[in-house]
Amino acid sequence: MGSKAANHDWSAADSLEELRYLAKAAGADIVGTLVQKLDVPSPTHYIGKGKIAELVSLKEQTYYDTVIFDDELSPRQQRNLEEVLGVKVVDRTALILDIFAKQARTREGQLQVELAQHQYLLPRLLGQWSHLERLGGSIGTRGPGESQLETDRRLIHKRINHLQREIDNVRRHRALYRRRRKERGVPIIAIVGYTNAGKSTLFNALSKAGVVVEDKLFSTLDPVTRRLVLSNEQQFLITDTVGFIHRLPLSIVAAFRATLEELTEADLLLHVVDITHKNAANQCLTVEKTLDELNLKSKPRITVFNKLDLALSSEAELEALPLAPRLKEQIMLPSRNMALISATKGWGIDKLLSKVLCYLTAGK
């Protein structure tokens, strides 16, 4: 279910296509899609009465048991929708958190996902008891119900505080490792990009690290760092990081602060772009905006156009076609440097490493 606001960069169709991809990654079977264009969403139900009636009618035809909205709903909107539809209502944030929870393999990743989930849950948990708050202290509202509200709130706050302490320990350990790396004078390169752009495949191609590579969203939630030694004995560390996505919820960005801090110490970013994706330009700009929000706008980078094996028949065509100027004009990135590669086939990797070496030796 999507509602197209006037200031979105993405079209409703493109945004819903990505939502469909997210839903499938979470294990959902899609039985229908509805779109409503509103200047301002309804504060009570997000969508209008007519669209609610359509959803009710669709339920009678398809017997759906969940409705997924392509936006973050307020606790009030979510609660009201569930009451009128009689099914579970999931918003974009909860959907992404569910996928993160499935993909989290390490203790660090699990801590960060759980923190984001609890921060998302807290206002919705309180909303479940709002009928008691509305009745105030009248007869029938005192006792177990009100006590349960306070108990639930206290338990959630206690768990959030515990998770934040655990993640702070992770941050301190990471900061210590970064300081030691800096003292050794070994340059650090971080791979960034939209989810499923091929970052882990490039990481493996460069480092031979054997990181799990899957054709799914957010297959990498935890940063992985390896040392790479070039033929001229130049050494550097390369880090694979979590992928970004359109409208990545701020709660997730905050929860993954310990992971994203790895980017602040990098000497160079490799921004990987799936150039074969029809929404490559918007995906690229989404990553750039996210980097800007993380105060990394001025960090030097090489834009790496990946998956060219899906568009070309051989590595020789990388040289034969004047792709770079056209791609740069299409994407409109601030980067002065770019590379054309296929991480899967190994095309263009040597030239990418040459560009990396130029940056590191020139101190750019």
Backbone angles phi, psi at 263, to 5 degrees: -70, -30
User: What's 309's DSSP letter?
Assistant: G
Domains 2-99 and 186-362 share a fold: yes
d(CA 206, CA 66): 42
Q: What is the pLDDT of residue 207?
A: 81
Q: Tell me the per-residue pLDDT of 318-357, one tens digit each, with 9 for 90 and over.
A: 665 555 444 555 555 544 588 889 999 989 888 898 888 8
The full set of domain ranges for the chain reads 2-99, 105-184, 186-362
Contact between 240 and 223 under an 8 Å Cβ cutoff? The reply is yes
Q: Is the pLDDT of residue 364 over 50?
A: no
pLDDT digits (tens, 9 = 90+) for 46-93: 999 999 999 999 998 999 999 999 999 999 999 999 999 999 999 999
CA distance 76 to 213: 39
* 196-254 per-position pLDDT tens digit: 899 988 988 888 755 444 444 555 556 778 888 877 777 888 888 878 888 877 777 77
DSSP assignment of 233-264 equals --EEEEEE-PPB-TT--HHHHHHTHHHHGGGT
pLDDT tens sequence across 5-14 = 333 467 888 8
C-alpha span between 114 and 249 (Å, rounded): 14
What per-residue confidence (pLDDT) applies to 67?
93
What is 2-99's CATH superfamily?
GTPase HflX, N-terminal domain (3.40.50.11060)
Q: Would you say residue 37 has pLDDT above 90?
A: no
Q: Determine the pLDDT at residue 191.
A: 93
d(CA 342, CA 360): 23
Query: Does 142 have pLDDT greater than 50?
Result: no
Q: Specify the pLDDT at position 80.
A: 93
Element at 35 (helix H, strand E):
strand 35-37
Per-residue pLDDT of 116-139, as tens digits, reads 888 888 888 755 544 444 434 433
Tell me if 194 sits within 8 A of 306, measured CB to CB: no
For residue 143, pLDDT beyond 60? no
Q: Which of 307, 94, 289, 107 is nearest to 196 (CA)?
A: 307
Give CA separation, 1 vs 16, 120, 132, 219, 233, in Å.
Answer: 8, 20, 31, 25, 54
Q: What is the mean pLDDT of residues 93-114?
A: 84
pLDDT surpassing 90 at residue 275: no
Query: What average pLDDT does the structure give for the chain?
Result: 79
Which residues are CB-neighbours of 86 under 8 A, at least 6 positions away?
59
The matching CATH number, chosen from 2.40.40.20, 3.40.50.300, 1.10.10.10, 3.40.718.10, for 186-362 is 3.40.50.300
CA–CA gap between residue 289 and residue 270 (Å, rounded)? 15
> How large a percentage of the chain has pLDDT more than 70?
80
Q: What are phi and psi of 212, to 5 degrees?
A: -60, 125
Provide the pLDDT for residue 304: 92
CA atoms 260, 164, 211, 216: torsion sign: negative
